[in-house]
Structure 1
Amino acid sequence: MSSPARTTQPGPGADPAEWEQTGVRLEVADAVATVTLCRPERRNAQSPALWRALAAIGRALPGSVRLVVLRAEGISFSAGLDRAMFTPEGIPGESSLLDLATGDGDAAIAGFQQAFTWWRRPDIVSVAAVQGHAVGAGFQLALACDLRVVADDVQFAMRETVLGLVPDLAGTKPLVDLVGPARALEICGTGRWVQAEEAVRIGLANVAVPAAELDAAVADLSAALLAAPRDALVETKALLQGAGGRSHEEQQAAERAAQVRRLRDLAGVGE
């Protein structure tokens, strides 16, 4: 996908130059924001600094943004955690895994999860363009988005369990929602690779395309989503997100309430 025409003006406390140093870049063109993992020489390995930048990007998005595209430079979407986090020394200036075990790990992990939760906000639709390896934290970042378009070389894997850990970056619920608890357990428990054809078949991905066509496929999907009126798409997304927690009768009531709001809006009738 070509670079957007202009770069966003940062919100309060935002520092795009600092974000890029951690390995992520934000660009905004009209209603579309593009978040790019931009450390291809490290296969876009993730760190707490990157997660803080991603959380800040979520807070800094202009209100005009309707759609967020998450993409990555290089041959891999993200190879997961920076391996330095698994060493006794860790990453300079950051908490190590040992620190999380002996300190307030709950609070620290809650902070990390903020990078993975804003993508499903009701006022935006997020699309992940995924190529190559999406491992562990990389898999969970792809799962954070509403939709996933994958290249035919994609390889998903959730390695945490086989390393003696658990997936803790907000990825377990979307994984179960997409593929069901039994398949999710099998994927996480074995740490095996899930490739493009299977990802589409079991619902992890919306579509798989040749790697050379990934950007074009995401652009086509983005254009189709933006063609719908914003308020209608927001209401529809909220209905679908809440459906799993409602009974049939509750969902029908939610549909009626949403439709009445849309009809009133279209008719110019106040509440």
Structure 2
Amino acid sequence: MTTPAQDTASPAPGDLVFEEDGVRLAVRDEIAVVTLTNPAKRNAQTPALWRALARAGRELPGSVRVVVLRGEGQSFSAGLDRRAFTPEGFPGDISFFTLAKAPEAELDETIAFYQEAFTWWRRPDLVSVAVVQGHAIGAGFQLALACDLRVCAEDARFAMRETSLGLVPDLTGTSPLVGLVGYGRALEICATGRYVEAAEAARIGLANLVVPAEALDAAVTEFTSALLAAPRNAVNETKALLQGAVHRPFDEQRAAERQAQGRRLRELMGGE
């Protein structure tokens, strides 16, 4: 018998593109669903899973406008598979023990390769939505942060445990976390490793929407429908403007708005 949280993790219907190494990609029309498929291990992450996530980004059809990221079972993702901290590591992959002794350039290159799984979600031609139930810990938290938006069940719990382990969040999570909750709160969350419950996540801007677990599927359907309601080019231009607003001076941002609006007007009115 499954719990409501398990039921809500079922992917939306779609045509299967591939399924490998704990990741499934299905596409229907303008929506792609990427699902983590190892609920027995609470969707713990491995280098093989990261390669599959990076592949999902490469294989998205051009028709896709919204990407939904889900995890099967009771947890979105409980973080890094603990085999990473054993001398044996993962079969077929370099162990972290070996990696720690590698030359600096090799170490940097390997981590950059791992980060590829977490970067494509921010592409300007897509809007990505993480659907979070249960645990989103460490790498799981960073994967949720990799998406543009987060829809959460009431039992969602976020925690950044890397610092507690003597490490740092290195899977692209630091920038979006600071952008969402501010430097002081981001530092406190990372340095203490504490849980951020769903209600707090909504209050501080980490979650866009929190609903009961049994309502999660319906909420995601309604949410994605709303994202698809506006014309694609208008959404893409707006996303690019908002992403740029983080680092542009005010006058440069005003200029970017004018240029984007000019492009929209020309397209809408049939100008050259």
TM normalised by structure 2 equals: 0.94
Matched, 1:7 2:16: yes
Q: Displacement of 1:7 after TM fit?
A: 2.6
Pick from 255, 258, 261 the counterpart of residue 257 of structure 2: 255
- 2:100 equivalent in structure 1: 101
Q: Displacement of 1:5 after TM fit?
A: 3.5
For 2:24 and 2:252, how far apart are their aligned partners in 1? 41
For 1:109 and 1:122, how far apart are their aligned partners in 2? 24
For 2:227 and 2:69, how far apart are their aligned partners in 1? 15
Q: Displacement of 1:2 after TM fit?
A: 5.6
- 1:25 equivalent in structure 2: 24
- 2:59 equivalent in structure 1: 60
Is contact 1:23-1:38 (8 Å) kept? yes
Is contact 1:117-1:170 (8 Å) kept? yes
- 1:84 equivalent in structure 2: 83
Q: Deviations over 1:15-69 (max 9, x none)?
A: x24x2xx111000000000000011011000000000010011011000000000
1:100 counterpart SS class: helix
Matched, 1:200 2:199: no
Q: Any gaps of 5 or more consecutive residues in structure 2? A: 1-9
Is contact 1:129-1:215 (8 Å) kept? no
Is contact 2:142-2:171 (8 Å) kept? yes
Deviating more after overlay: 24-33 vs 208-217:
208-217
Q: Deviations over 1:203-231 (max 9, x none)?
A: 11001100111111111110001010000
Structure-2 change in CA distance of 1:144 and 1:2 (3 Å) = closer
Q: Displacement of 1:267 after TM fit?
A: 1.0
Q: Deviations over 1:125-145 (max 9, x none)?
A: 000000000000000000000
For 2:270 and 2:118, how far apart are their aligned partners in 1? 37
Q: Which amino acid counterpart does residue 128 of structure 1 have in structure 2?
A: A
Is contact 2:163-2:191 (8 Å) kept? yes
Q: Which amino acid counterpart does residue 208 of structure 1 have in structure 2?
A: V
What are the within-5 Å matches in structure 2 for residues 113-132 of structure 1? Answer: 113-132=115-134
Q: Displacement of 1:3 after TM fit?
A: 3.1
- 1:213 equivalent in structure 2: 215
Is contact 2:11-2:70 (8 Å) kept? no
For 1:166 and 1:188, how far apart are their aligned partners in 2? 9
Is contact 2:86-2:97 (8 Å) kept? no
Q: Any gaps of 5 or more consecutive residues in structure 1? A: 9-15
For 2:49 and 2:132, how far apart are their aligned partners in 1? 18
- 2:4 equivalent in structure 1: none
- 1:12 equivalent in structure 2: none
Matched, 1:148 2:150: yes
Q: Which amino acid counterpart does residue 115 of structure 2 have in structure 1?
A: Q
Alignment identity in percent?
Answer: 67
Return structure 1 stretches of 4+ with deviation > 4 angstroms.
Answer: none
TM normalised by structure 1 equals: 0.94
Q: Deviations over 1:205-262 (max 9, x none)?
A: 0011001111111111100010100000000000000001111111111000000000
Is contact 2:66-2:228 (8 Å) kept? yes
